[in-house]
Amino acid sequence: MAKLTEPLEAETEQQIDAVLKRLSNSNDIGVDLLRVLDIAIGRTGADMGTLQRFDERADCLTVVASRGLSSEALSFFGAVRRDTNTSCAAALMRRMRVFVENVSTSYLFVGTRELDMLRACGIAAAQSTPLISSNGRLWGVFTTHFREPRKVSEFDPAPVDRLAVRVADCMEQIEGLVPNQHFHGKHVPEEPQPGG
């Protein structure tokens, strides 16, 4: 994958600034999380992806935004536990990116139900990058999926790493305003506040 040129990188950083500013003041978190996910998909040159929130109480990742996956796949991967055979579970456990060049030959997936679902979705490769804030808290995971196998040597991690930290920092700042909900482009009404 070709690396971004400096002017394109600056333009992309401006887009990220604008999206994160919108997210910080969002009236529709779902739409703005989808914009963030679209940037991650673009930065990795992927075809589809998910943004997952780490639910500390349930000790699992839950999909809060998605692009390009079927409703069946979202149901199947909606809550990912640490022992699930996925790149995102491995990224959660290791607190570092996991890159799967070919799902059909990866030790993570061979002989699993997860591989059958990935194939049904047309997914041949994937990368999962944890969203870890500047103070070290894991907020969630970006997973982007590719329709063709990919070589890790052709992948430039720097742009998605920078995005991951910025998103985690932004979400941490607005944490009290963001309930643990699923966003797939639908408006989610705010819950009524006690006494109001």
Q: Using only C-alpha atoms, what is the Rg of the chain?
A: 16
Q: Note whether residue 16 is domain-resident.
A: yes
102: domain CATH number is 3.30.450.40
3-state secondary structure of 49: strand
Q: Note whether residue 56 is domain-resident.
A: yes
Closest to 18 measured CA to CA, from 170, 188, 135 = 170
How many structural domains does the chain have? 1
CA distances from 41 to 46, 163, 175 (A): 5, 11, 23
Whole-model pTM: value is 0.80
- Residue 108 φ then ψ, to 5°: -65, -30
Distance from the first to the final alpha carbon of the chain: 52
pLDDT tens, residue order, the chain (196 aa): 444 444 446 557 777 777 778 777 767 777 888 999 999 999 999 999 999 999 999 999 999 999 999 999 999 998 999 999 999 999 999 999 999 999 999 999 999 999 999 999 999 999 999 999 998 999 999 999 999 999 999 999 999 999 999 999 888 887 644 444 444 443 333 334 344 4
For residue 180, the model assigns a pLDDT of: 45
For residue 16, the model assigns a pLDDT of: 77
Q: Note whether residue 184 is domain-resident.
A: no
Q: Note whether residue 82 is domain-resident.
A: yes
Domain that holds residue 110: 6-177
For residue 9, the model assigns a pLDDT of: 60
